[in-house]
């Protein structure tokens, strides 16, 4: 029996149990501090040294690099280990799916990764820890060591476009999968949100696991409002059993 391809679209809600706050939820970062959005907006970041200084302090404090995968991340990796074909399409930049054991080649990071920094001039890449160590040592806005250009995290900021190759791969997986699980995402930010509808259009079973209602709930075969840390592992166990895992 051919096992169904399971696509998991994950948003900020899957990582809140790991201590990483979401951005658009009722207690999200943007709702608490609208000014914070400027720190991740490309135009402001590139044009204002003070914005960059604040952004580096935010990176230093936000805990993403020391966060650990939680039960939901581990459950996704466990399903993949049972032999069920699983692909993760994530809106998150925390790298926790990979830390939980998902092979990196099976994780598509739509919005890039906060674990790497990139030079906006020469495009050199390095581990984020390298620049954060310089910030800790007193550099407020560390420049590229190779060319002196402005450094930023290898994440997609507001005002930047998604990597078309990554988006294309995500689209192909969405059209090919038999089960599409949207977990911890408001399904309001395009183009990622539209993947849920595309999956349903192509005949996939659409399951939404999210605390708040989403625009795609009426198209879903199943909507789960329970806490993700317990609901997703249970759902994936069921899926594994149903597919012979």
Active-site annotation holds for 202: no
The Cα–Cα gap between 179 and 202 comes to 10
Q: What is the DSSP letter of 105?
A: G
The values of phi and psi at residue 14, to 5°, are: -75, -20
73, 97, 111, 123: the active-site residue: 111
Q: Which residues pair with 183 in a beta bridge?
A: 10, 209
DSSP state of 150: B
Find out whether 11 and 211 touch, Cβ atoms under 8 Å. Answer: no
Give the angle subtended at the CA of 12 by the CAs of 234 and 236, to the nearest 5°.
Answer: 15
CA atoms 211, 233, 190, 48: torsion sign = positive
- Which residue has tokens 């954060």? 132
Half-sphere exposure for 77 (CA within 13 Å, toward CB): 17
**Residues acting as catalytic residues:** 111
């Amino acid at each position: 029996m051919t096992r169904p391809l399971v696509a998991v679209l994950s948003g900020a809600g899957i990582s809140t149990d790991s201590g990483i706050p979401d951005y658009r939820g009722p207690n999200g970062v943007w709702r608490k501090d609208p000014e914070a959005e400027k720190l991740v907006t490309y135009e402001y970041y590139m044009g204002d040294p003070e914005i960059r200084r604040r952004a580096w302090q935010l990176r230093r404090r936000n805990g993403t690099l020391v966060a650990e995968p939680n039960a939901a991340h581990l459950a996704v990796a466990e399903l993949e280990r049972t032999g069920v074909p699983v692909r993760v399409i994530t809106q998150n930049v925390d790298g926790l799916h990979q830390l939980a054991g998902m092979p990196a080649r099976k994780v598509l990071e739509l919005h890039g990764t906060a674990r790497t920094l990139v030079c906006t001039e020469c495009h050199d890449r390095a581990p984020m820890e390298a620049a954060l160590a310089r910030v800790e040592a007193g550099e407020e806005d560390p420049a590229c060591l190779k060319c002196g250009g402005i450094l930023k995290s290898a994440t997609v900021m507001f005002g930047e476009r998604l990597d078309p190759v990554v988006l294309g791969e995500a689209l192909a997986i969405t059209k090919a999968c038999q089960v599409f699980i949207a977990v911890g995402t408001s399904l309001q930010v395009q183009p990622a949100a539209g993947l849920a509808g595309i999956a349903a259009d192509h005949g996939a079973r659409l399951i939404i696991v999210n605390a708040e209602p989403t625009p795609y709930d009426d198209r879903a075969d199943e909507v789960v409002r329970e806490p993700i840390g317990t609901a997703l592992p249970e759902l994936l166990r069921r899926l594994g059993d149903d597919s012979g895992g």
